[in-house]
Amino acid sequence: MNIPSYQARKRFGQHFLHDKQVIDRLHRVINPQPGELMVEIGPGQGALTLPLLRRLGHLEAIELDRDLAAYLVENCASEGDLHLHNVDALTFDFRTLAREQNQRLRVVGNLPYNVSTPLLFHLLAQVEVLEDMHFMLQREVVVRLAAKPGGKDYGRLSVMVQFYCGVEPLFTVKPGAFMPPPKVDSMVVRLKPHRPSLAPEIPHAALNRVVSQAFSQRRKTLANALKGLLGSADLKVLGIDPRQRPETVDLEQYLALTRYWLAHR
């Protein structure tokens, strides 16, 4: 497949992967198997699309750029069944696709840096239909995904993603692997949803509210940050020091805080 003469568009956050060694390594860690239902987000010029399509025979892809969508459909036609959705991945209904195929989805992609966090939250809200996710992200985002309590990288994104998924950073990718090269390193990460859920009784919205409020004022003590939701006495009942900072509170403690808030609000 010949790569077209195409100017990357800043508004789409486009950085096209072209390094064959990186592409091959990414394909190996994804390890696609015939019969699996895979969705690629942001296929761009098709660097990963083609090897996936050859391996799987059928691939769903989401590409917002109309010009690239048309190019991919034309150039992949002889390689397999590429079903391309020319829509914004932030509004895509992954549940419907999974139900139509009666199969959980494996999701992969080189995600645009400017939408990676909201896109992760969009996927987490539909996590029950996902088998796993492999993403190329800005390295600092992956560091935040995998961060443990006590450090500056640990925050809302860490807690919410780790509630839903095991996080496994895989390998770093240098800017030269892309055209145009980004200004920062990238990293490939594997997200594997917990089966069963760590706390199926806790709604996404409830945990997100508690965690979001805690980290909206991370310089304050936990008691001050959660004012209006939970007080110092509530924290003490749970065995949590009200003087702790939000970044020192682990996932299990955030789950306990959310359960308590749901029971006493």
Q: What residue spans of 129-203 are helical by DSSP H? A: 139-146, 156-164
**Is the pLDDT reported for residue 2 higher than 50?**
no
Give mean pLDDT, residues 139-167: 97
184, containing H or E segment? none
Annotated ligand binding at 63? The verdict is yes
**Is the pLDDT reported for residue 217 higher than 50?**
yes
Annotated ligand binding at 24? The verdict is no
- 233: tokens are 């006495």
Annotated ligand binding at 207? The verdict is no
**Is the pLDDT reported for residue 32 higher than 90?**
yes
Q: At what angle do helices 204-216 and 251-264 cross, to 10 degrees?
A: 110
**Is the pLDDT reported for residue 220 higher than 60?**
yes
Instruction: Tell me the one-letter amino acid at 265.
Output: R
**Is the pLDDT reported for residue 130 higher than 80?**
yes
3-state secondary structure at position 178: strand
**Is the pLDDT reported for residue 192 higher than 60?**
yes
Annotated ligand binding at 17? The verdict is yes
Annotated ligand binding at 18? The verdict is no
Q: What is the dihedral of CA 111, 115, 121, 124, to 10 degrees?
A: -20
What's the CA gap between 195 and 34, in Å, rounded? 23
Annotated ligand binding at 151? The verdict is no
**Is the pLDDT reported for residue 31 higher than 50?**
yes
Q: What is the pLDDT of residue 1?
A: 40
- Which phi and psi (to 5°) does residue 200 adopt? -65, -20
pLDDT digits (tens, 9 = 90+) for 234-244: 999 999 999 99
**Is the pLDDT reported for residue 12 higher than 50?**
no
From the CB of residue 240, how many other CB atoms can be counted at a distance below 10 Å?
22
Mean pLDDT rounded to a whole number for the chain: 92
pLDDT digits (tens, 9 = 90+) for 131-149: 999 999 999 999 999 999 9
Instruction: Tell me the one-letter amino acid at 263.
Output: A
Q: Give the global pTM.
A: 0.91
pLDDT band at 6 (very low <50, low <70, confident <90, very high): low
Alpha-carbon 224 to chain mean position: 30
13 sits in the region (left: phi over 0; alpha: psi -120 to 50; else beta) called left
Instruction: Tell me the one-letter amino acid at 251.
Output: L
Sketch out the chain's domains with CATH numbers.
Answer: 10-193 (3.40.50.150), 204-264 (1.10.8.100)
Strands lying side by side in the sheet with 105-110: 81-85, 58-62, 37-41, 105-110, 130-138, 186-193, 165-173
**Is the pLDDT reported for residue 263 higher than 60?**
yes
